[in-house]
A and B are shown apart, each in its own frame.
Chain A
Amino acid sequence: MSRMRFSRRSLLKTGGAALAASALPAPMIWAQEIKDVTLRQFGTGVSNLNEVAQKVKEDLGFTLEMTALDSDSVTQRAATQPDSFDIADIEYWICKKVWPTGNLQAMDTSKIKNYDKIVGIFKDGKLTPESVIAQGTAPHSVGFVEGPDSKSFAKEQTQWMTLIPTIYNADTLGIRPDLIKRPIESWAELLNPEFKGKASLLDISSIGIMDMAMVCESMGEIKYGDKGNMTREEIDKTIAIFTEAKKAGQFRAFWKSFDESVNLMASGEVVIQSMWSPAITAVKTRGIPCVYQPLKEGYRSWGGGIGLSKSLNGIALDAAYEYINWYLSGWVGGFLMRQGYYSAVPETSKEHMSPNEWGYWFEGKPAAEDIANPFGDVMAKAGETRDGGSFYERMGAVACWNAVMDENQYMVRKWNEFIAA
C-alpha cells in the first residue's frame, strides 16, 4: 500500500476500509494509510505557498498539492469543477458566491482544536467587544451554516463552519512618498487632479467598486447604506464619478495582476493607487520608497479561509481536518505574519515568531533590529514601525470588507461601461 498512487475510486475504497478499520481498535493501520493521502488544494497566490506544502509533508506525512490562480479563476473553479480539488483556499466573498452551489461541505467546529482561540472577527464579527461590524461581506456573516447540508448562511455562530479562516489583512492605497512629497490622509486623494495621469485602480470589479466607494464617500459625494451591498442608484452614481475622472485623464492605467501593480508603482508611472500589501513590499525591496498609507476613513479589508470539497470523505477528510488543525497551530500563522498578513489564531503564531517580529508586525512597535520575511528579504530596517501600526489599530479601523453584492450582475455591466468609456 505504501507507494501506490490513488485514483479517486481506490481512494474511496481504501478510505471506506480505513474508516471501518478505525472504528475497530486498530489505529496502527490508520496511521500508515494517512501517509498515502494526497490533498489537492487550490486558491489565490497569497497563501498557496510551496513552503506550506513542504512543511505539511514533514509534520503530517501526507502530500498537499498546491495550485495558485487569480481570484476570478478560483471562483470559477470552485463553482464549476468540484471534483478538481479537495481543499479550496478562497476569500469570504467568493464563499458567498460559491457556497450555494453545494460544492463545499461544512466543517464541524468540535473537531477544530483551536476554535476558541480564533479571532472574534470570524466568529461574531467583533474584533473587541466594543467593535462596530464593518460593511460588506464580513467573514462571520458567511462563516457559518445551520447544519452540515445547509445551503444558506446562519445568522450567528453554529457548529458548522463554511471556511476555516487562515489569512486576512487590511488594504489601503499605496503611494510613492518621494514623488508626492506631502502627507496623504484621505481616500479622496485618488481623484485629486494633482495626480492627473498618475493614479491607478485595480480592474477587478468586485474589489475595485469598493475602492471607488471609499473614495466617493470620503469626497462627500455619496453616502452609502452599505458599501458592500449597493443599490443600483448608488452604483450608477459611483461609476459616473469615476467615468468622469477617467475621461479627464486621471488614470494612467488599471491593473489586474499583482505584478502589474508593482511595475506601475516602481516605474513611477503611477504615484497613488489601490494596492495589496505584498506589492508594497515588492516595490520596497527594489529600493524604491513606497508607503501603505493608512487613511482616516479606514481600511478595505479581506479575509480568506479554507473550505472542503463536498466529495472529500473517509481518510482524506480526516487528513483534511488534521491539516486544518495544523494550519491553526501556529507555524503557518507565523510564516504568514512575517510577510505582513494576519493569522486567524495570533496567539499560536506568536510562538513561531521572535519577540522583535511579533512586536513589529502585531504590536506596531518599532523594530529593534532589521525585520526579514521568511525568504530572507529585509522588510524593515531597525527603528521603523509598520504602516498603520498594531493589529488592533489596523483591523480595528476596517470600514468595509470585500464583498459580492445582490446587484452584482448590474454592477459588472456598469463596470464594463466604465472600462469602455
Chain B
Amino acid sequence: MKKSDTLRGWALASPLALVLLAFLLLPIAMIMVVSFWQATEFAIVPAFSLENYQFLFSSPVTYKVFWATLRYALITWALTLLIGFTVAYYLAFHIRSNTAQTALFLVCTIPFLTSNIIRMISWIPFLGRNGIANQTLIGMGVIEEPLEWLLYSDFSVILAFVHLYTLFMIVPIFNTMMRIDRALIEAARDNGASGWQILANVIIPLSKPGIMIGTIFVLTLVMGDFITVRFMSGSQSANVGRLISNDIALLQYPSASATSVVLLVTVLLIIGALMRFVNIRKEL
C-alpha cells in the first residue's frame, strides 16, 4: 500500500517534471554552456572562455543598459501597483453584486483579447507629432506647439508598459482581496479604525501575496521585454532584451547567452529578495 502510494506520487509528478526538464532546464543549461563559447563573424566555436563575461562586465554599456532596464521595471512596477491595487480594491470592496463584479472583471480583460503588439503599436499614431493627442490639445488651446516627448521617449515606453501589464497586477491582487474575511474589516471598524487604518493595517497586509505575485509578473515581463522598448522609444533607448536581440541578429549567440545568463541571475536575485518579505506559499 505504502509503496504503491510512493509509486503513484512519482507517476503523477513525472509528466510535469519531464516537461520542465525538457523545455525549461535543458534550454537554460544549453544557454549556460553556449555563454562560454566563442563566436567569429559567421561561426560558433565550442570552447571554455570567459571572454563573453569579461567583455560584459568591463563594458560601461552593460551597466548603463541594466540600470535602464531596472529603471523601466521599477517605474512600471510602481504605476501598475498603484493602478492595479486601486482597481482591485474597487472591484473587491465597492462592487456588492457578484454578477457586476464578474462582469467588470471581464471588462478589464477585454483589451487583452487583441495581440499586445497591436495594442502597443496603436499608441504610435495616437501620440505622434500630428497625432490625436497633440491635435486635441492644440485644438483645446492647451498647447501651441505639438509635444515632442509624447512619442519615442521614456514616457511612451512606460505608458505602453503600464497599459500592457496592469492586468497582471489586478488579477492576483483582486484574487487575494476576495479571500479576505469581511468579518475582519467589520471588527476593525467596530474597534474604531478609520478607513485609512483599515487599509493600512488589514487590507494591505492581507493582500501581500497578491501584490507579490503581481510584482513578480510585472518585473519579469518588463525586464525581459525588447519589442516594446524598440517600438515605443523609436529604437532610441536600449534595454537588456534589445542587447540580446542585437547580438542574436549578428550571430553572436555566445555573447547573447552570456547577457541572458546575467539577466536571468539578476531577475532571480530580485525575486529571491522579494520572497524573503512574503512567503507566498504559506499565505496562499
The one of A203, A252, A267 that contacts B125, using a Cβ cutoff of 8 Å: A267
Give residues 344-395 of A contacting B (CB, 8 Å). Answer: none
> Quick one: CB contact mask for B36-47 with A, threshold 8 Å, 1 for yes?
000001110000
Contacts of A73 in B (CB 8 A): 249
The one of B151, B235, B236, B237 that contacts A256, using a Cβ cutoff of 8 Å: B235
Kindly specify which of A46-54, A74-82, A223-231 makes contact with the partner chain: A74-82
Instruction: Give the nearest-CB partner of B39 in chain A.
Output: A409
Most buried by A among B59, B128, B235, B251: B235
Kindly specify which of A1-9, A56-64, A96-104, A320-328 makes contact with the partner chain: A96-104
Assess whether B68 is in contact with A254, with CB atoms less than 8 Å apart.
Answer: no
Give Cα distance in the complex from A102 to B60, angstroms: 37
Kindly specify which of B83-91, B112-120, B238-246 makes contact with the partner chain: B238-246
Give Cα distance in the complex from A127 to B89, angstroms: 73
The one of B65, B131, B235, B246 that contacts A253, using a Cβ cutoff of 8 Å: B235
Tier of interface size on chain B: 20 to 34
Show 11 A/B contacts (Cβ-Cβ < 8 Å), sorted by A: A75-B251, A76-B251, A253-B235, A255-B234, A256-B230, A412-B246, A412-B252, A419-B235, A419-B236, A419-B238, A420-B64
- In the A-B complex, the 3 residue pairs with the smallest Cβ-Cβ separation, listed nearest first, are A253-B234, A254-B235, A420-B238
Question: Counting CB contacts under 8 A, is B61 at the interface?
Answer: yes
Question: Counting CB contacts under 8 A, is A186 at the interface?
Answer: no
The one of B235, B243, B251 that contacts A203, using a Cβ cutoff of 8 Å: B235
Question: Counting CB contacts under 8 A, is B129 at the interface?
Answer: yes
Given A79-B251, A246-B236, A253-B152: A420 touches B43 (CB 8 Å cut-off): no
Question: Counting CB contacts under 8 A, is A408 at the interface?
Answer: yes
Chain A count of residues within 8 A CB distance of the other chain: 35
Question: Counting CB contacts under 8 A, is A268 at the interface?
Answer: yes
Assess whether B242 is in contact with A101, with CB atoms less than 8 Å apart.
Answer: no
Instruction: Give the nearest-CB partner of A198 in chain B.
Output: B129
Give residues 125-142 of B contacting A (CB, 8 Å). Answer: 125, 128-131
Given A79-B251, A253-B234: A269 touches B61 (CB 8 Å cut-off): no
Assess whether B235 is in contact with A268, with CB atoms less than 8 Å apart.
Answer: no
Contacts of B251 in A (CB 8 A): 75-76, 79-80
Instruction: Give the nearest-CB partner of B130 in chain A.
Output: A268
> Quick one: CB contact mask for B247-278 with A, threshold 8 Å, 1 for yes?
01111100000000000000000000000000
Instruction: Give the nearest-CB partner of A406 in chain B.
Output: B41
Assess whether B128 is in contact with A269, with CB atoms less than 8 Å apart.
Answer: yes
Most buried by B among A268, A404, A413: A413
Give residues 168-199 of A contacting B (CB, 8 Å). Answer: 197
Contacts of B249 in A (CB 8 A): 72-73, 76
Give residues 255-304 of A contacting B (CB, 8 Å). Answer: 255-256, 263-264, 267-269
Give Cα distance in the complex from A76 to B125, angstroms: 33
Contacts of B235 in A (CB 8 A): 203, 253-256, 419
Contacts of B230 in A (CB 8 A): 256
In whole Å, how far is A27's beta carbon from the nearest beta carbon of chain B? 40
In whole Å, how far is B216's beta carbon from the nearest beta carbon of chain A? 27
Give residues 405-420 of A contacting B (CB, 8 Å). Answer: 408-409, 412-413, 416-417, 419-420
Contacts of B248 in A (CB 8 A): 76
14 further A-B pairs in the complex, CB-CB below 8 A; given A254-B235, A255-B234: A76-B248, A76-B251, A97-B41, A246-B236, A254-B234, A267-B130, A269-B151, A269-B152, A416-B238, A419-B235, A419-B237, A420-B65, A420-B68, A420-B243
Give Cα distance in the complex from A254 to B246, angstroms: 14
Give Cα distance in the complex from A246 to B42, angstroms: 31
Question: Counting CB contacts under 8 A, is B148 at the interface?
Answer: yes
Question: Counting CB contacts under 8 A, is A122 at the interface?
Answer: no
Give residues 23-45 of B contacting A (CB, 8 Å). Answer: 41-43
Question: Counting CB contacts under 8 A, is A251 at the interface?
Answer: yes
> Quick one: CB contact mask for A210-225 with B, threshold 8 Å, 1 for yes?
0000000000000000
In whole Å, how far is B150's beta carbon from the nearest beta carbon of chain A? 11
Contacts of B238 in A (CB 8 A): 416, 419-420
Contacts of A200 in B (CB 8 A): 234
In whole Å, how far is B236's beta carbon from the nearest beta carbon of chain A? 6
Instruction: Give the nearest-CB partner of B232 in chain A.
Output: A253
Most buried by B among A263, A409, A417, A419: A419
Give Cα distance in the complex from A264 to B125, angstroms: 10
Assess whether A252 is in contact with B41, with CB atoms less than 8 Å apart.
Answer: no
Contacts of B41 in A (CB 8 A): 97, 404, 408-409
Give Cα distance in the complex from A263 to B250, angstroms: 26
Contacts of B125 in A (CB 8 A): 267
The one of B42, B68, B128, B252 that contacts A101, using a Cβ cutoff of 8 Å: B42
Assess whether B236 is in contact with A254, with CB atoms less than 8 Å apart.
Answer: yes
Give Cα distance in the complex from A252 to B131, angstroms: 15
Given A79-B251, A267-B130: A419 touches B242 (CB 8 Å cut-off): yes
In whole Å, how far is A402's beta carbon from the nearest beta carbon of chain B? 15
Give Cα distance in the complex from A203 to B230, angstroms: 10
Give residues 116-169 of A contacting B (CB, 8 Å). Answer: none
Give Cα distance in the complex from A256 to B124, angstroms: 16
Contacts of B68 in A (CB 8 A): 420
Assess whether B129 is in contact with A79, with CB atoms less than 8 Å apart.
Answer: no
> Quick one: CB contact mask for A84-122 with B, threshold 8 Å, 1 for yes?
000000000000011011000000000000000000000
Contacts of A80 in B (CB 8 A): 251
